[in-house]
Amino acid sequence: MKKSKKNTKKHRFVINRYIAIVAFFAFSIALALTTRVAFANSKTVVLPGDMATSFAEVVENPTSWFFYNDENDTIDNALGTFINGPATPPEGKGGVQISVSGTQRRNLATYQFSGKKLADITTLAFSTYNPTVGNNGSVNRSAYLNFNVDFDGSDSWQRRLVFVPSDNGSVVQDSWQRWDAIGGGNALWRHSGATWPVTGEPGSTTKTWNQILTDYPNVRVRVTDSWLGLRVGEPYASGYTENIDKFEFSTATDSLVFDFEPSIAPPTSKAECKKKGWKIFNNPSFENRKECVQYVWDHIEPISGRPTAKDQCKKGGWRAFIDYSFENQKECTQFVKNYVEPRDGHPTTKAECKEKGWRAYSDPSFESKKKCLKFVKNNLEHHNDDEDDYGEHHDDDHKDYEKHEDEDEHEDDDDE
Ligand SMILES: [Ca+2]
Of 43, 49, 87, which Cα lies nearest the Cα of 266? Answer: 49
Ligand 1 centroid from CA 266, angstroms: 18
Cα-to-centroid distance, 262 and ligand 1 (Å)? 8
- State in Å: Cα 254 to ligand 1 middle: 20
pTM (predicted TM-score): 0.66
Nearest alpha carbon to residue 260 among 218, 217, 230: 230
Give me ligand 1 centre to Cα 259, in Å.
4
What pLDDT, in 10s, does the model give residues 352-379?
A: 998 889 999 988 999 999 999 999 998 8
Does residue 400 register a pLDDT over 80? no
What digits encode the pLDDT tens for the residues 256-300? Answer: 999 999 999 999 888 899 999 999 999 999 999 999 988 988 887
Band (36; pLDDT cuts 50, 70, 90): very low
- The pLDDT tens digits for 207-232 are 999 999 999 999 999 999 999 999 99
Domains of the chain, earliest start first = 39-260 (2.60.120), 289-412 (no CATH)
Query: What does the DSSP 8-state code read for residue 2?
Result: H
Q: How confident is the model at residue 141 (pLDDT cuts 50, 70, 90)?
A: confident
How far is Cα 388 from Cα 106, in angstroms, rounded to an integer? 89
Q: How far apart are CA 159 and CA 191, in angstroms?
A: 7
| 3-state SS assignment for residue 410 | helix
CA 82 / ligand 1 centre spacing (Å):
9
| Ligand 1 geometric centre to CA of 96 (Å) | 8
How many Å lie between the centroid of ligand 1 and the Cα of residue 371? 68
Q: Which of 233, 290, 266 is nearest to 49 (CA)?
A: 266
Q: Are 150 and 144 in contact (CB under 8 A)?
A: no
pLDDT score for 58: 96
| pLDDT for position 114 | 97
Give the pLDDT score at 238. 72
| Cα(51) to centroid(ligand 1), Å | 14
Model pLDDT, residue 338? 86
Determine what percent of the chain is predicted with pLDDT higher than 90: 63
Q: Is 373 exposed, middle or buried (0-12, 13-18, 19+ CB in 10 A)?
A: buried
pLDDT averaged over every residue in the chain:
84
Q: Does 120 score more than 90 pLDDT?
A: yes
